[in-house]
Amino acid sequence: MCVYLNTGSQESILPKEETVIEQTLFVKLGRWQWWFLVVLNVFFLIVGQTAAVLLGRFYYDQGGNSKWLATLVQTAAFPVLLIPLYFLPSSKDHATTSNPPSIKVLALVYFSIGVLLAGDNMMYSVGLLYLSASTYSLICATQLAFNAVFSYFINSQKFTMLILNSVIIVSFSAALIGVNDDSGGPTGVSRGKYILGFICTIGASALYSLLLSLMQLSFQKVLKRETFSVVLEMQIYTALVASFAATVGLFASGEWRRLHGEMVNYGKGRVSYVMTLVWTAVAWQVCSVGVVGLIFVVSSLFSNVISTLSLAVTPIAAVIIFHDKMNGVKVIAMLLALWGFASYVYQNYLDDSKARRRQADAREPQNDSSI
């Protein structure tokens, strides 16, 4: 979690372009306030993602079958973000550039990311429909490997041996799930649908990682602002576009005609049907705030690291709540995912320590000259 400029051969987890903004944020807030934001966003991400995945699986288990509705609820609760945005100071008062982006440029950025987000959510919905919650979460851990690749090409993130080790290990973890015949899906899901769910989840993980890198690039090159309101604005506008796209898909596919029957025949009753959808939507927004917040406060790479940690927690919760099968292969896959997570964290620690030493060395000549 390096917030200092590192000009050495091994760069910090933050690319050079982002460290300028992050250093200003760190100095302005102070060390403990910066860490408070990091911990708060980590909490939002882990709790939100775990609850959202479990509620999504519960929706399907109790008779829900609308993929477009499951896609819509992942972004539909974005209006709740208007509440904290209202109480935050306007980001326009804290712009770090005298040339803010035009409305057309902002609209293009939000629209592009929003459409990609809708497609990503759709693939996740298909994956969760045909996979158990534990299998789904373990496959999603591949987003860490994808994000390392996208960060290398888009965000100038260097590959170290620890990062390469983590990419390989996480890839092996997903491969184990893919070739394991006993991983299976929910009751009644054929092998063909299980494979479809596996492919959609892998594709969604790759697209999600691309989205994180594109968001980070947008903060660096387009937005160039340093208030948390910018994070909320990004989330609100992209979620608005994604929700509109999912609504169009819901009506164009004809699934909206089956929603009343779904509610009537829902296993836990109509009230439970509505509450499941509402709290799933809220949980996804809590998760999204954590994801985008960590991109802003730290980096897209660190955000994905914490997402991977959450994905390692979800299978345990799924075993307890849904009694998912946790065979030996799944246990090994989860341990590999945790190993990959630990490699990234240790790389963060090394980068942070190196950056602090460099800053201390840079201050010594200044202190000597002032004597």
Q: Which residue has the higher pLDDT, 124 or 224?
A: 124
- Which pLDDT score is estimated for 169? 81
Cα-to-chain-centroid distance, residue 12: 21
Average pLDDT over the chain, rounded to an integer: 78
- CA distance linking residue 150 with residue 49, whole number of Å: 22
Which segment of 57-61, 80-84, 309-313, 339-343 scores lowest on mean pLDDT? 309-313
Task: Report d(CA 120, CA 122) in Å as an integer.
Answer: 5
pLDDT one-digit tens code per residue, 25-75: 544 556 677 788 888 888 998 899 889 999 999 999 999 999 999 999 999
For residues 123 and 25, the model is more confident at 123
| Digit-coded pLDDT (tens) for 156-165 | 777 778 878 8
For the ranges 95-99, 131-135, 224-228, 360-364, the maximum mean pLDDT occurs at: 131-135
Structure-model confidence comparison of residues 10 and 288, the more confident one: 288
Q: Across residues 107-123, what is the average pLDDT? A: 95
Sign of the four-CA dihedral 29, 226, 77, 44: negative
**The predicted structure's pLDDT at residue 246:** 96
Q: What is the mean pLDDT of residues 338-352?
A: 75
Sequence-distant (≥ 6) Cβ neighbours of residue 82 within 8 angstroms: 236
Token representation of residue 253: 């596919």
Average pLDDT in the 176-186 region?
62
- Checking 16-24 for CB contacts under 8 A at 24+ apart, the result is 16/156, 17/156, 17/220, 17/221, 18/155, 18/216, 18/219, 18/220, 18/299, 21/96, 21/219, 21/220, 21/224, 21/226, 22/297, 22/298, 24/96, 24/226
- Is the pTM higher than 0.85? The answer reads no
- Beta carbons of 310 and 42 less than 8 angstroms apart: no
Residues in the chain: 371
By three-state DSSP, how is residue 95 classified? strand
Mean pLDDT calculated for residue range 339-365: 74
For 75, counting Cβ atoms within 10 Å of its Cβ (0-12 exposed, 13-18 middle, 19+ buried), the class is buried
Q: Report the share of the chain in percent with pLDDT over 70.
A: 78
List the end-to-end C-alpha distance of the chain, in Å, as a whole number: 33
